[in-house]
Amino acid sequence: MSDGFSLTIALLVTVVLGALATAFLWLMRRRQAETAAGIAALAEMRWREFARLVVEALRGRGFEAEGIDQALDRGPQAELRLRRDGQTWLLACRVASARSQLGTGPVRELADAVRVNAAQGGILATPARINAPTRSAASRLELYDGEALWALVAPMLPNALRDDITLHARKRSVRETALAWTVAVALGVIAGLVPAFVGGPAEPSTEPAASESAPPPAEAPAPPAKPAAPGPALDSAAPADPNRDQFERGEVIHAVSVLPWVERALWSTSSTLVIQQREDVDQLQIEEICAVLARYDALRASRLQLQPPAGSQRKVRFLQCRAY
């Protein structure tokens, strides 16, 4: 170690920065990542499935649905009638991309329906974001989007799906924490080198005084190169088109959902397809799903999470049609 390097300063800076970054990533960033993954999973649901999930979540807040099956048959633009404390409420569920913004149209339509039906109020639930101008048109309405929507419906999700979302957020936090500590070490090394440049207390010299003709002292050595980050290697390939990925996943959901033994299907993560079965099936039926995934290069190695039908003694199964 070169003269002037302060190991104490380097360790202190590394520990402080690393600890602060770790606290932020695990106490705040991980929760944000889990919420974002959950909202993305809701956005990939079919409207009927999303509406039933919201209705079940509202039961815990005292609401009861009236004629839910008939209302669902009218399509995504229909308002569902709810009752609470003897009063009528209207519910509108709008499925949209988690990155999109909901326009004022659906909000105004629900507000008008509340007035026409003399309802006590209205509830609008959507994975899309609702901005301030849209909220200003929400007279007598309760709006659930983003974190509010996730807090409402998260307790209603299947345990396997919630665990998958939590695991996805935890893995991301581990990668980000490793990168944060790498940066903290690099900054600690730089901070430890500062005394070499600003100068420290001079030690008494045992050499005779240099003559006026003596050559000038050598310049201080250059600081060592910044260590390379040992974190996970980044993929050098260009990122995939998110619009194309979303389109292909939507096609897979549509193709799988029409199979007679499938109750519903949704993407819990970008690489896990959750399938709720109507009935127990064997490997031959599962190959039907593999055939659908094989049409798409980016999805053919996706993991299948098979949820057993109601009343079945089977456990949840995880399969993969093929490896990369």
Domain annotation covers residue 192: no
The pLDDT value recorded for residue 182 is 92
**Buried b / exposed e across 137-166, counting CB within 10 Å, b at 16+?**
ebeebebbbbeebbebbbebbeebbbebbe
Helix (H) / strand (E) element for 73: namely helix 68-73
Q: Of 103, 134, 149, which residue sits at a domain end?
A: 149
Asked if residue 303 is part of any domain, the answer here is yes
Predicted local confidence at residue 32, as pLDDT? 75
Residue 233 lies in a domain: no
Structure confidence at residue 281 (pLDDT) = 79
pLDDT tens digit at each of 324 positions of the chain: 455 688 888 888 899 998 898 888 777 777 778 788 888 888 888 888 998 999 999 998 999 988 777 767 777 777 889 999 999 999 999 988 888 888 888 899 999 999 999 999 999 999 999 988 888 878 789 999 988 898 899 888 877 777 777 777 777 788 888 898 899 899 988 888 887 677 554 444 444 444 444 455 555 555 554 444 444 443 444 455 777 888 888 888 888 888 887 888 888 888 888 888 888 877 778 888 888 888 888 888 888 888 888 778 788 888 888 775
CATH code of the domain containing 279: 3.30.300
Which residue do the tokens 């629900």 mark?
110
Task: Establish if 306 belongs to a structural domain.
Answer: yes
What's the domain range around 110?
53-149
Domain boundary (101, 126, 149) is at 149
- Whether residue 277 contacts residue 249, with contact meaning beta carbons closer than 8 Å, is answered with no
Q: Is residue 307 part of a domain?
A: yes
Residue owning tokens 């800076």: 13
- Residue 307 gets the label, from left (phi > 0), alpha (psi -120 to 50) or beta, of beta
DSSP 8-state symbol, 27: I
In a domain, residue 167? The reply is no
Asked if residues 130 and 101 have their Cβ atoms less than 8 Å apart, the reply is yes
In the sheet with 272-277, reading across from the earlier edge strand, the strands are: 262-269, 272-277, 303-307, 317-320
Q: What is the pLDDT of residue 251?
A: 86
Of residues 42, 51, 33, 162, the one with CA closest to residue 96: 42
Q: Is 62 contained in some domain?
A: yes
Total domains present in the chain: 2
Please check whether residue 80 is in contact with residue 65, taking contact to mean a CB–CB distance below 8 angstroms. yes
Which one of 149, 164, 190 terminates a domain? 149
User: CA-CA distance, 93 to 79, in Å (whole number)?
Assistant: 8
Q: For residue 187, which of 13, 5, 45 has the smallest C-alpha distance?
A: 13
pTM: predicted TM-score of the whole model, two decimal places? 0.46
- Which of 269, 282, 273, 271 has the alpha carbon at shortest distance from 253? 273
Tell me if 293 is assigned to some domain.
Answer: yes
CATH code of the domain containing 125: 3.40.1350.10
Query: How many CA atoms lie less than 13 Å away from 295 in the CB half-sphere?
Result: 12
pLDDT value at position 210?
42
